[in-house]
Amino acid sequence: MSNSYVVKGKFKLKYEWKQFTKTVQAKDEASAASVAKSILGGNHCVKRFEIKVDSVEPAPVKAQ
Q: Residue 1 above 60 pLDDT?
A: no
Q: For domain 3-58, give the fold.
A: Ubiquitin-like (UB roll) (3.10.20)
Query: Which of the 8 DSSP states describes residue 61?
Result: P
pTM of the model: 0.88
Which 3 state secondary structure label does DSSP give 16?
strand
Residue 2 pLDDT = 72
Residue 22 pLDDT = 95
Question: What residue ranges do the domains of the chain occupy?
Answer: 3-58
